[in-house]
Amino acid sequence: MKIELVFIPSPGIGHMRSTTAMAKLLIDSDDRVSVTLIVIPSQHSGNVSSSNISSVYTESKSRLHYCHLSTGDRPTEQTFISYIDSRKPLVRAIVSELASEVSTRSDSSRLAGIVVDMFCTSMIDIADEFGLPAYTFYTSNTSYLGLQFHVQSLYDEKKLDVSELKDSDAEFDVPTLTRPFPVKCLPYVMLSKEWFPYVLNRARSLRDTKGILVNSVAEVEPEAVKFFSGENMNTPPVYAVGPIIDFKTDSKDSDDEKSSEILRWLDEQPSNSVVFLCFGSMGGFSEVQAREIAVALERSGHRFLWSLRQASPVAGCPPGEFKNLEEILPEGFLDRTVEIGKIISWAPQVAVLENPAIGAFVTHCGWNSILESLWFGVPMAAWPIYAEQQFNAFHMVEELGLAAEIRKDYRRDFFSGTGEIVTAVEIVTAEEIERGIKCAMEQDSKLRKRVKEVRDKLHLALMDGGSSNAALRKFVQDVVENIP
C-alpha cells in the first residue's frame, strides 16, 4: 500500500527549509511514501524564497509535489495567527482535491494524514473535517517542546500563569532539563498576557495530534527523550528524527557570484581562524549595537566574517542593509581590519560553516542554525534575539555545554499588542561580545572537544541503525497503522 501525506509548513523561510528537507528525507527513506507540500506565502513579502526551495527539491519519482497558495490579499495588519487562519479555505480546497485524486488511483494509495508545522496547529481542523490523522512537525528541539507542555500543565493543573512572573528572577524546574530554568529566558509569548492564551491553546492542540516529529537527536537531548518515553504521559508519541538540515537551497537565496566571493575569501584564511557572525533571516541591529560588535571584533584580534544588517522599524519585516558602513562603524575600523575581516549582508550559512577556516559561530540560536553549527563541529557563542532563542541559548550554554555565552537572556521580539517591535533597551557591550568570541574561538578547549563529540553523534544518528533513522521508520509504521 502506498501512502500520501500532506505537509503544511509555516511561511517562515527557516520552517520552509527544514520542512521541505524533512519531506525529502521521508520519501527517500520509504518507497511507499509520497508528500504534497502546501506552501503558504509570507505575509510581508513575495514568495521568491519558497519558489527557490521547490526548484532545488524537485519531484522525486513524482513523490514530492508542491502546491503554492496564491499570494492574493495579504493584509499586513493581520496578526500571524489570523493570517494563517485566513489561508484555511485555500488549504481546505487543496486537501479536498487531493483526497479525490488519491481515491481514484489504481495503486491502492491512501491519504494517510496531515503534518502541520508547530505554528500551523489551527490547520488541524482541516484534518478533522476530512477524518484524517493529524501530526506535527516540530522545527525546534525536544526540550523546548517539553517546556511548552510543562507551562500548559502548570496553568491547567495548578493555575500557575508564568506570564505573571515577568521581570522576576524566579527559576522553575522543567522536566526536560536537568537544572532550574530562569523565567527571564522564557520566550516573549509566554511572558505576555496577550499571547499566553495562544501558548496554552497551541500546547493543547499538540497533545491532540497522533504524533510529533521533532528536528532533534536522542543522544543530544537524553533528558528530554527520557521524559517523553515515560509511562502515563499525556502526550502523543515523539519522534526525534533530526538533524534535518537543508543543504540544497542555501546558495539559491542569492546569486552565485556573491556566494563564490565569500567562499573564496574563506579559502584564503588559515584553518579555525575565522569567527562567523550571522543572526538569521530576521537578525538586524541598531547603529549603536553594530559599533559595539565592531569594537569587540577588533579587540578580539580574530579574523571575522560578519553578516551585518540593520534592524527593521516594522514588526515582522526582514532587516535591511546599512547604506554607509563608514558612517556607523568606528572611525578607521574598515581600514584597520581590511586584511582580516569581511563584512557581508547575506551569507550562504551552511557553506560557510562547512569551510575549515571557520573557528566559531556567533549565532542568534535559531534551532536550524544550532544544528548546522553542530553538524560541522563549530563551537558557538550564544546571542539570542527573539522567539524561543533565549531558551535555546540556555539549553546550549548551561544544559549541554555546547556554546559560550554572550548574553543568553537578551531579547528583541518582533511583535506586541500594538504591532510594533518590542525593542531591547539594553545594548550588549563590546566587553560581553569579545568575551564570548574569545571563549568560543579557544583552541583545544572543553567546549570545542564537546562540540566535536556531538558532531559525531549527529552523523551516526542518521545512519542505518541510528536513533533518528529508527525513529523515522517507527513514524512511518505508526502512520500506516493510524490510517482510517
**pLDDT tens-place string over residues 320-339:** 889 899 999 999 999 999 99
The average pLDDT across 160-174 equals: 92
* pLDDT the model gives residue 242: 96
Enumerate residues 6+ apart whose C-beta is below 8 A from 408.
185, 382, 384, 390, 393, 394, 397, 398
Measured distance CA(305)–CA(330) in Å, rounded: 17
What would the pLDDT profile of 192-225 be if each residue is shown by its tens digit?
Answer: 999 999 999 999 999 999 999 999 999 999 999 9
68 is catalytic: no
The average pLDDT across 365-385 equals: 97
* pLDDT the model gives residue 76: 60
**Residue 67 and residue 96 in contact, taking contact as beta carbons nearer than 8 Å:** no
The average pLDDT across 293-309 equals: 97
Is the omega angle on the peptide bond into residue 243 within 30 degrees of 0, that is, cis?
yes
pLDDT of 51 > 70? The answer is: no
Enumerate residues 6+ apart whose C-beta is below 8 A from 268.
none
Measured distance CA(366)–CA(389) in Å, rounded: 6
Strands 181-182 and 171-172, by their bridges, are antiparallel
Which of 117, 250, 253, 413 is an active site residue?
A: 117
Enumerate residues 6+ apart whose C-beta is below 8 A from 329.
290, 291, 294
Can you count the helices (H) and strands (E) in the chain? 19, 15
pLDDT of 302 > 90? The answer is: yes
* pLDDT the model gives residue 420: 43
**Residue 315 and residue 221 in contact, taking contact as beta carbons nearer than 8 Å:** no
Alpha helices in 104-176 (DSSP H): 124-129, 142-158
For domain 3-139+209-242+463-482, the CATH architecture is 3-Layer(aba) Sandwich (3.40)
Domain ranges of the chain: 3-139+209-242+463-482, 255-458
pLDDT of 407 > 60? The answer is: yes
Confidence (pTM): 0.92
**Residue 214 and residue 136 in contact, taking contact as beta carbons nearer than 8 Å:** no
* Band (73; pLDDT cuts 50, 70, 90): low
Q: How far separated are the first and last CA of the chain, in Å rounded?
A: 14
Which of 15, 302, 364, 395 is an active site residue?
A: 15
DSSP result, 324-363: -HHHHSPTTHHHHTTTTEEEESS--HHHHHHSTTEEEEEE
What is 255-458's CATH number?
3.40.50.2000
Tell the residue number behind the cell numbers 526582514, with chain if given. Answer: 318
* Band (47; pLDDT cuts 50, 70, 90): very low
What would the pLDDT profile of 80-123 be if each residue is shown by its tens digit?
Answer: 889 999 999 999 999 999 999 999 987 889 999 999 999 999 99
Enumerate residues 6+ apart whose C-beta is below 8 A from 256.
none
More confident call, 55 vs 366: 366
15 is catalytic: yes
Enumerate residues 6+ apart whose C-beta is below 8 A from 299.
430, 434
Please, what is the average pLDDT of the chain? 90
* Band (74; pLDDT cuts 50, 70, 90): low
Tell the residue number behind the cell numbers 479536498, with chain if given. Answer: 96
Topology agreement, domain 3-139+209-242+463-482 and domain 255-458: yes
* Band (419; pLDDT cuts 50, 70, 90): very low
**Residue 360 and residue 437 in contact, taking contact as beta carbons nearer than 8 Å:** yes
* pLDDT the model gives residue 43: 78
